[in-house]
Amino acid sequence: MARKAKEEQPRKQGVDPNVMGLRGETIDQPITDTLERNFMPYAMSVIVSRAIPEIDGFKPSHRKLLYCMYKMGLLNGARTKSANIVGQTMHYNPHGDAAIYETMVRLTADNQALNTPFVDSKGNFGKVYSRDMAYAASRYTEAKLAPICAELFRDIDKDTVDFVPNYDNSTTEPTLLPTSFPNVLVSANLGIAVGMASQICGFNLAEVCQSTIELIKNPDHDVLTTMPAPDFPTGGEIVYDPGAMAEIYRTGRGSFPVRARWRYVEKDHIIEIYQIPYTTTVEAILDKCRDLVKDGKIKEISDMRDETDLGGLKLAIDVKRGTDPDRLMAKLFRLTPLQDNYPCNFNILIAGSPQVLGVREILTEWIAWRTECVRRRVYFDMARKKEKLHLLEGLKAILLDIDRAIAIIRETESEAEVVPNLMIGFGIDQAQAEYVAEIRLRNINREYILKRTEETASLAGEIRDLEDTLKNRRRLRSIITDELRAVMKKYPSPRRTGLVYAREVEEYGEAEDAVEDYPVHLFLSRHGYFKKITPQSLRMSGEQKYKEDDGLGWYFEATNTAELLLFTDRQLAYKLRAGDFADTKASALGDYLPVKLGMEQGETILGAVLCGDYSDTLLLFFQNGKCARLPLAAYATKTNRKKLTGAYSEKSPLAALLALPEEREIAVTTAEGRCVVFSSAQLAPKTSRTTQGVQVVTVKKHPVVKAAFLQDTAIQNPGRYRVRTLPAAGAKLTDADRGEEQMTFI
C-alpha cells in the first residue's frame, strides 16, 4: 500500500511518471501508453514525412532537393557542382549530405533509375543495374534540372500549392509540387515505413498522359487499353497476363514477371543479354550463373562476362557447340535473376492518409488534385488582373480631368498630402491614388490616356473569362487536357519494356536434357493414371493393372518424344511429353496426372489426343449437339508450355473429342439413344479455339454423350443413321447396332 501511494503521489501533483523514473524510482507504465507516447509519433512521422510518396509522385526528400535546385536557378542555368546543390539543400532537408546526394543520384539521367529523369547530370553517377559501379563523390560531379522539371514547377509562384516554413523557419517550401502530368505513376518509387511500405512501378509518360486524357473524357474508360503495362528504364520484357495485370490495376497490389532481352550471335556461339529486369543487377546475375556452372547444373556455358561499356549494358555468354540457345535461356530464366517478379503496392499519401489505390483511383485522385491547382492558378491570375483593373480605373478617373489633378498636386504644400488630396478630389482609394501619383509627367498625353482606357476594357473581358473558367469545371479539365497533350508532344517517350504474352511463354520446369527417341506404348486410365511402356516390356508383361473402379481410357502407339494434349472439364488443355515420364511396367499403376500436372481439385480429364506434327484436325463435340472443327496447330506453342487456357468454348460441356488425320465418317450418339452418322467433310473448319462450332445433332432434352469414328463402333447398318444435311435428329439405335463394347474416343 505504501508503494502504491508513493507511485500515485506524482500523478496527483501533475508530474510525468517517466520523469520520476529518471530519479531511480520504479514506475509501472502500461505498454499501450508507451506505444502511444513514444512509438506512434515516430511511426507517423516516418509514414507521413519520409517514406510514402504523395499525389505529386515525390517523397519529401525528392521534393526538397528539386525545389532547392529550382530556387538556385538550375532550371535554365548552367550545371553546378553537386556538392553545392547538396549544401544548399540542407536549408530544407535536415539530413546529412550523404543521404541528400544519394537521393539526387537516383533522380539523374546517368543513373537510369527513372523513365523521366529530373536531373541533367555530368559525371559518374553509377548505374541502377550495377551493384558495384559506385557513383563518384559530389565534389566531382555536376548537375542541373532537366527540361521536364518546367512541368513540375509550372506556375508554382501563382499560389497553385501551399507553402510551409522549413525546419528552422528560415524560409518556406512547397507541400507539393504542381506537376502538370501524373508523375505519381510515371516515376518508380519505393518506400519502407513503419508497419507499411510502398512500391510503385514506373509507367510510360505518353501512355499515362493519354490515359488521363481519356479518363477525363470518360470516367468509365478502360485504362488497360491505353496503358497496358508498366514501363521500366532498364527495358526487358514483361510476361504479360491481361487478367493478372487487370487485378493489379484494380487493387493496387500484386506482382508480374519481368525477364531479360537477349540475342544469339550464331557465328560466335555467343548469347548477348542487353536488357535485364529492373529488380536485379548484372553482378547478381553473374554470381548466380557461376554458382550454377560450378555445381554442374548448367553444362552448356563455357564462359560468361560483363561487356558493359559506354554503349550500354551487355552480358556475353559463350556457349558450347551444339547448344540450343532457347533451351539454355529457358534454364537461365528459371534459375537466375534474368527473370524476376516485380511486386506492386500502390500505397500513396492522400491528404496525409496512406491509402492503397488502383491505377484508375490514383489517376482520379490526381485529376481532382490537379483541377484544384489549376483553379487556384486561375483565381490568382484573376485577382491580379482585378487589382490592375482597379488601379487603371482610378487612373482613368484622373486622366479624364488631368488639369484638375495637376492643380491639386501643385496646390498641395506637403508631399505626404498629395495622395490624400487626390483621394478626396476624385473619390478614389489609397492604392489608386498611389498609382496615379507615381505616373511620370511625360505619360500624361492623349496617346497614353487612350491606351490605358483600351487596356481597361481588355482587362474587364479577361476577368469575365477567368470568372467563367472558375465556374465551369469542364473548362478547368480542358486546361489540364491541353497541358497533358503539350507534355506528350514536347517530351516524347518511346516505350522501353516489351510485352510477351504469358500464353506464349514456357512454364519452365526442371532443367531439360536431350530426350532419347525410341518406340513406346502410352496408356491413360479413365481416372488419370498414365503409363509409358516399351514394346519389349509390354511383350513380357502380363495384364494391365488398374484400380478396382478404373480402366483403360486412351491408348496410343508413339515414341518417347511424342506429345499428348489432355482436355479437362475446365476448358483447359495440358501438354504432356512422353519423355518427361519414366518407363514403367504393366503391373504398375503409373503416374497420377492430376497431381503431376497440378490440376485443380475435382478437375476431370475428358479426352486425349496424340499431337504428332500438329498437322491433324481436331473435332470437339459438345453436349448441346454442336461440333467445332479446329486445326490441331491451334494448340501448338513455340515454347514448352504445359498448360493452355481457353482450350475450347465454355458455352456447353465437352462430350467427346477426336483427332482426325483424314476425312472419315463420324457416329454421334445422344443420351436418348439416337445416332447420327455423317462425313467429317461436312464440317467447316474454324480458327478460334473458343468457337462454338456448328450444330450437327438436334438436341432437345437429351445431350450428346458419345462420338466415334464409324469404323470403331458396333453399328452394322450405317445407312439407317447416315444423313446428308446437318443438323439432324438421327434415328434410334437398334439392339444390334448398340453392341456390347463401349465406344472409345481415341
Report, as residue numbers or ranges, the catalytic residues. Answer: 140
Helix axes 418-426, 359-399, angle to 10 degrees: 90
CB of 600 closer than 8 Å to CB of 570: yes
Residue 59: left (phi > 0), alpha (psi -120 to 50), or beta? beta
If you count them, how many residues does the chain have? Answer: 746
Nearest-angstrom CA–CA distance, 237 and 228: 13
Q: Facing residues of 608 across strands?
A: 566
Nearest-angstrom CA–CA distance, 201 and 198: 10
Nearest one of 250, 231, 485 to 360, comparing CA atoms? 250
State the first-to-last Cα distance of the chain, in angstroms, to the nearest integer: 91
C-alpha distance from residue 608 to each of 36, 165, 541, 597, 735 (Å): 64, 73, 24, 14, 29
3-state secondary structure of 247: helix
Task: Report the 10 Å Cβ neighbour count for 166.
Answer: 15
For the record, the C-alpha cell of 8 comes out as 500515485
Strand pairing class (189-192; 197-200): antiparallel
- Alpha-helical segments (H) within 223-266: 223-226, 242-251
- 471-483 exposure pattern, b = at least 16 Cβ within 10 A, e = fewer: eeeeebbebbbeb
Q: For the purposes of burial, counting CB atoms within 10 Å of the CB of 26, is it exposed (0-12), middle (13-18) or buried (19 or more)? A: exposed
Nearest-angstrom CA–CA distance, 534 and 521: 6
CB of 79 closer than 8 Å to CB of 142: yes
Nearest-angstrom CA–CA distance, 570 and 246: 22
* Percent composition of the chain: helix, strand, coil (DSSP 3-state, to 5): 40, 20, 40
User: Phi and psi dihedrals of 595, rounded to 5?
Assistant: -80, -40
For the record, the C-alpha cell of 588 comes out as 504398375
Long-range contacts of 204-208 (CB under 8 A, 24+ apart): 204/115, 204/231, 204/493, 204/495, 204/496, 205/115, 205/116, 205/181, 205/487, 205/488, 205/491, 205/493, 206/488, 206/492, 206/493, 207/231, 207/495, 208/181, 208/182, 208/363
Nearest-angstrom CA–CA distance, 455 and 449: 10
User: H or E element: which one contains 291?
Assistant: helix 282-294
Half-sphere exposure of 683 (CA within 13 A, CB side): 30
